[in-house]
């Protein structure tokens, strides 16, 4: 990514690298630019600083702390939710993608052909990443290099472990079919447990919503006529 003298003076190289790593985890279709993000972060921090100073009593004391927290945690807040959402989607996609990959390998196809068949058979985030792997291989990269680059774009440790197993299978010729099925079962079980945990939390969330919104509204409907009669 191109750098200019101004941006090199404003931002440390390590800071830009951290932002670039987060952007890579959003996938090959991510349109975010680290320099644009950093520019927006600085300008919005300055804006928030002066708003706090001019609108809040003792703002000159609070502003530095609030702006520091905003500046420090904005990357995690901005990218974190999107990365976690993508991670969960990739885990879900992995169950179907790697099952088709395992079936293709069982039918006698080699690894490259099986990856091409699986990626073209499913329309998902994970298949899109493997299509990029195949494209890079067609452009001259080795399959190992393309898989290593793909791991940098995958926030899911489970999927990355499978990619590592695929890479080792390509290098050493190991049988990966049993490993794929074991990983599929693990992902399915983990997602099932996560869904059960989410369902178990629903009554509590519904109770909180009822307390915050419905009960005050119900009291207003019951006591409203009494209050109006009292003041009239």
Reported as a single tens digit per residue, the pLDDT across 36-49 is 899 899 999 999 99
- The Cβ of residue 104 has, within 10 Å, a number of other Cβ atoms equal to 20
Give dist(CA 119, CA 125) in Å, integer. Answer: 10
Decide: 134 and 116 in contact? Cβ < 8 Å: yes
**Domains of the chain, start order:** 5-87 (no CATH), 91-190 (1.20.81)
- Give the H or E element holding residue 215: helix 215-231
Half-sphere exposure of 96 (CA within 13 A, CB side): 13
For residue 105, give both structure tokens: 């390998």
pLDDT at 1: 45
CA angle at residue 144 from 142 to 147, to 5 degrees?
Answer: 110
At residue 193, the 3 state secondary structure works out as helix
pLDDT at 155: 93
The pLDDT score that the predictor gives to residue 212 is 64
The helix/strand/coil state of 82 is helix
Distance, in Å, from the CA atom of 153 to the CA atom of 85, rounded to the nearest integer, reads 14
In this structure, what DSSP letter does residue 141 have? Answer: -
* pLDDT reported for residue 31: 86
Range of lowest pLDDT (21-25, 126-130, 150-154, 178-182) = 178-182
Mean pLDDT score, 225-232: 68
Measure the N-to-C terminal CA separation of the chain; round to a whole number of Å.
71
- Indicate the pLDDT class of residue 8, thresholds 50, 70 and 90: low
Give the span between the Cα atoms of 20 and 18, in whole angstroms: 5
Q: Using the predicted structure, report yes or no on whether residue 101 has a pLDDT greater than 50.
A: yes
Mean pLDDT in residue range 63-81:
91
Q: What is the pLDDT of residues 103-122, one digit of tens each?
A: 998 888 888 889 999 999 88
The label of the residue with tokens 């009593």 reads 57
Among residues 135, 206, 141, the alpha carbon closest in space to that of 170 is found at 141
pTM of the predicted structure, to 2 decimals: 0.75
Please state, rounded to an integer, the average pLDDT across all residues of the chain: 84
pLDDT in tens, 162-215: 999 888 887 777 778 888 888 888 888 888 887 787 777 767 666 666 666 666
CA distance 104 to 118: 8
């Amino acid at each position: 990514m191109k750098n200019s003298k101004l941006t090199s003076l404003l931002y440390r190289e390590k800071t830009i690298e951290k932002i670039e790593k987060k952007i890579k985890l959003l996938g090959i279709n991510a349109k975010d630019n680290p320099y644009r993000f950093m520019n927006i972060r600085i300008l919005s921090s300055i804006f928030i600083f002066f708003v706090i100073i001019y609108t809040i009593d003792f703002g000159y004391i609070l502003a530095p702390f609030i702006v520091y927290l905003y500046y420090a945690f904005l990357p995690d807040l901005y990218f974190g939710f999107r990365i976690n959402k993508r991670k969960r989607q990739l885990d879900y996609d992995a169950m179907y993608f790697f099952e088709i990959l395992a079936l293709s390998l069982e039918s006698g196809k080699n690894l490259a052909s099986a990856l091409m068949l699986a990626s073209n058979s499913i329309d998902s985030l994970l298949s899109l990443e493997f299509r990029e792997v195949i494209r890079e291989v067609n452009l001259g990269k080795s399959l190992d290099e393309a898989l290593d680059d793909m791991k940098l774009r995958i926030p899911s440790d489970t999927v990355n472990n499978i990619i590592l197993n695929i890479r080792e299978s390509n290098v050493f010729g190991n049988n990966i079919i049993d490993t794929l099925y074991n990983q599929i079962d693990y992902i399915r079980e983990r997602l099932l447990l996560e869904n059960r945990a989410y369902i178990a939390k629903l009554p509590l969330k519904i109770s909180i919503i009822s307390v915050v919104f419905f009960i005050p509204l119900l009291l207003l409907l019951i006591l409203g006529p009494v209050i109006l009669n009292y003041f009239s």
